[in-house]
Amino acid sequence: MTRTFFEPDETEEYEAAADLLTRRCLAWAGERDLPADSVVLAAALESRHRSRDGRLAHWDREQVRRFLLVWTPHYVVAPRDVLDAAPESLRTLLRYLDASGLWDPRGAPVAELSDAVTAAEYAAALDDPLRQSVAKFWARIALDRGVDFDDRRALEKFQRDIDAGRVPYDAEVLDQLMMARLTEPELDEERAYAQPPIALPPAAELAEAAAQSVLVRQLAAVAEWAGAEGRPLTAEGLPRRPDARELAALLETGEDDLRVAEMRQVNRMLTWAKKARLIRTSKGQVFRGAKAAPILRDPEALWSRAFEVFFELGGTIGAPPTSWYSASVLVSAFDEILPDVLNSMYGLPSPVPVVRLQESVWLACKEHFQFDDWGLREQGWRLQVDQDLLAALEALAVLGAVELSHGAADELYSSDLDDEEQPLGPAAAERLRARLRDPDLLLARLTPLGLRATRERMLAEGRDAPLIGELATAPPAELLGLLAQHYPPEAAAVELAGWLAVPGQDVERLLRAVRDCPFRTRATAMLGTMTEALPDGLSIIRGLRDDPVLGPIALSALLDGEDIQPESLSDRERLLLLAEELLVLLELGGPEAVLDEVTEAAGKDTREVIEAALSSGHPDVAGLEELGALLPRLTRAHHPLRLVAGNAPGSRGRRGGHGKKRRH
């Protein structure tokens, strides 16, 4: 389909889609006299493809700023007038995505993005020589000297001129760029795993759950204990023993008889409250935060802030260092590894065995530190990491973000252990198999509050984390496009049912959106997703056989499902299916794929096949225009005998091939 999301290794599929979107956007812009440059359009799509979420049609202010202020100065090589007009070209692309039904409604509205970057900001970014890459540094010099990038000899001469010192350049800037390349991260963002759609309870239930959180009540108690008058602290920054015992009793930690330094739960809560800005220290005393009152009156906001700062608490959650062991390696990477733990639990259909999490966390710790020789201490360090992970999960359970239980593990968590490519390794896999047979394992799962909070963190990182119900009022074209690409069938059916439950939203609106879709492959996917999710989907497909726009798609679906037989097709339907097949191939593979495939299949009749498709009456006017544009190329490259009628001198020409191959 004309997708707007591709995995990083789907290079050919992405390039074909990006080429198609660029061609269609340029044509659309030309019809409306809007500014658009192919280099800028392709670069904008590339910036989204090489991002954390990879959604080409999902744009917000941050993504616009990333493209114009970071990506373009760093990568895009073009004449200055083209670069100066890049914001206008980007605006045209965004308008085209919106007008063609490709826009992701979970991004910002197009109208809100026009002022994401000011003209002054953009000009300053372009003029900053240190924002460019080393490759762009040399490409700009070559461009200024008139070097043709498609001329190999010209490029080789340019390189010789550089080596001979005949090309002037700013050596200081080049040195700084070389250093930046070694020390600064690449602009390509590591692609995050796609997350499954989740469902959450109503907002009122989540607010009530936050109010019932044990830790929320404890944090409020800490703030109340500190008070506006404050409590004195020792030289070590700890409460005095009577105050600490009073707080231990309030929190019911059972630490009343311990020394203050040994009251780990009390000290953890003090640290947690301080990180959450509920208390503050000043001049040897601890006070309730001056601005803490509003959040203390809002349990849900307090819960969210407590979750946000949890990842800064590794030192108070992990076991303290001893004379034999230093602080746990998990504590040292707590703020990096614990979010990954919650991400791995997100959206799973059943509770996760904690032993499975411990194996993965230990592997992450070893990769994080990469010790050449762990030596005799490895077993002790491993035990410490296991215990610290358990302590972290228990703290999250007190907060109400994680639910801990006991029981047998779902087969899901052992099903991949026989896979040769699983990352744990043979020894860990064998150890896990044995441990997962225990019928009374400790299990963990995210609560609804934990799911919502983890999702919010993912969204803040630019990740895609669908939520059932968030598309309830989305435009029908955008709804079906997202369901087709990002939702499994069961979740798509639930989301679609919710959309149809909104007054004024019905099946006819969905069908109208499919008819209006300018891409055959996308329209096919949209219609397939819709009819698969509806109980009467097959009857809808049957009723579309003679539809002037959707007929070819319906015919293809009915043939694939063996609901009709090929011999029952009329000549007109056969031509429509031929055109549909070629247009789909054009969208998926580009013009070269059509020329190669049709020539291989039809040989000398290639021209007649394409002309038959063009005369079919197929409704995709834009696609037929692109298909018709292949005929002159076909004549020149594939059938040189037809260049000149008869056998006049020179009419045979040179033997042609299948045309220039696509570069991937």
Q: Which two tokens stand for residue 131?
A: 């924002």
Query: How high is the pLDDT of residue 187?
Result: 82
> Which has the higher per-residue pLDDT, 163 or 266?
266
Q: Which two tokens stand for residue 81?
A: 């007038």
Query: How high is the pLDDT of residue 372?
Result: 58
Query: How high is the pLDDT of residue 648?
Result: 28
- Local confidence band at 175 (pLDDT 50, 70, 90 cut-offs): confident
- Local confidence band at 654 (pLDDT 50, 70, 90 cut-offs): very low
Q: Which two tokens stand for residue 266?
A: 């009390």
Residue 647 has pLDDT above 70, yes or no: no
Query: How high is the pLDDT of residue 655?
Result: 28
Percent of the chain as helix, strand, coil, to the nearest 5: 60, 5, 35
Average pLDDT, the chain: 90
- Local confidence band at 627 (pLDDT 50, 70, 90 cut-offs): very high
pLDDT tens column, 255-296:
989 999 999 999 999 999 999 999 999 999 999 998 999 999
pLDDT > 90: percent of the chain: 75
Residue 373 has pLDDT above 70, yes or no: no
Interior angle at CA 435, CA 431 and CA 441, nearest 5: 150
Query: How high is the pLDDT of residue 185?
Result: 76
Residue 369 has pLDDT above 90, yes or no: no
> Which has the higher per-residue pLDDT, 379 or 77?
77
Query: How high is the pLDDT of residue 495?
Result: 97
Average pLDDT, stretch 304-315? 96
> Which has the higher per-residue pLDDT, 367 or 651?
367
- Asked if 403 contacts 397 with a C-beta cutoff of 8 angstroms, the reply is yes
Which H or E run contains 403? strand 402-407
Which of 323-327, 363-367, 660-664 is most confident? 363-367
- Local confidence band at 320 (pLDDT 50, 70, 90 cut-offs): confident
Closest CA to 22 of 47, 8, 41: 41
Q: Which residue's structure tokens are 């407590």? A: 306
Query: How high is the pLDDT of residue 430?
Result: 86
Residue 132 has pLDDT above 60, yes or no: yes
pLDDT tens column, 18-31:
999 999 999 999 99
pLDDT tens column, 341-354:
999 999 999 999 99
pLDDT tens column, 213-243:
999 999 999 999 999 999 999 999 999 999 9
Query: How high is the pLDDT of residue 73?
Result: 94
Q: Compute and round to an integer the Cα radius of gyration of the chain.
A: 31
pLDDT tens column, 461-487:
999 999 999 999 999 999 999 999 999
Query: How high is the pLDDT of residue 508?
Result: 97
Average pLDDT, stretch 361-374? 77
Q: How far apart are CA 365 and CA 337, in angstroms?
A: 8
Residue 592 has pLDDT above 80, yes or no: yes
> Which has the higher per-residue pLDDT, 175 or 461?
461
Q: How far apart are CA 160 and CA 145, in angstroms?
A: 14
Query: How high is the pLDDT of residue 324?
Result: 54
pLDDT > 70: percent of the chain: 93
Residue 553 has pLDDT above 90, yes or no: yes
Range name among 110-119, 635-644, 652-661 with the lowest pLDDT average: 652-661
Which H or E run contains 406? strand 402-407
Ranges of each domain in the chain: 11-183, 203-310, 317-460, 476-568, 571-642
- Chain-centroid distance of CA 436 in Å reads 32
Query: How high is the pLDDT of residue 322?
Result: 59
> Which has the higher per-residue pLDDT, 276 or 654?
276
Query: How high is the pLDDT of residue 660?
Result: 34
Residue 323 has pLDDT above 70, yes or no: no
Average pLDDT, stretch 528-536? 96
- Asked if 293 contacts 228 with a C-beta cutoff of 8 angstroms, the reply is no
Residue 643 has pLDDT above 80, yes or no: no
- Asked if 361 contacts 338 with a C-beta cutoff of 8 angstroms, the reply is no
Residue 515 has pLDDT above 60, yes or no: yes
- Local confidence band at 431 (pLDDT 50, 70, 90 cut-offs): confident
Query: How high is the pLDDT of residue 336?
Result: 93
Contacts of 416 (CB under 8 A, 6+ apart): 422
Residue 559 has pLDDT above 50, yes or no: yes
Amino acid symbol at 474: A
Residues in the chain: 664
pLDDT tens column, 52-102:
999 999 999 999 999 999 999 999 999 999 999 999 999 999 999 999 999
**Exposed, middle or buried by CB within 10 Å (0-12, 13-18, 19+), for 419?**
exposed
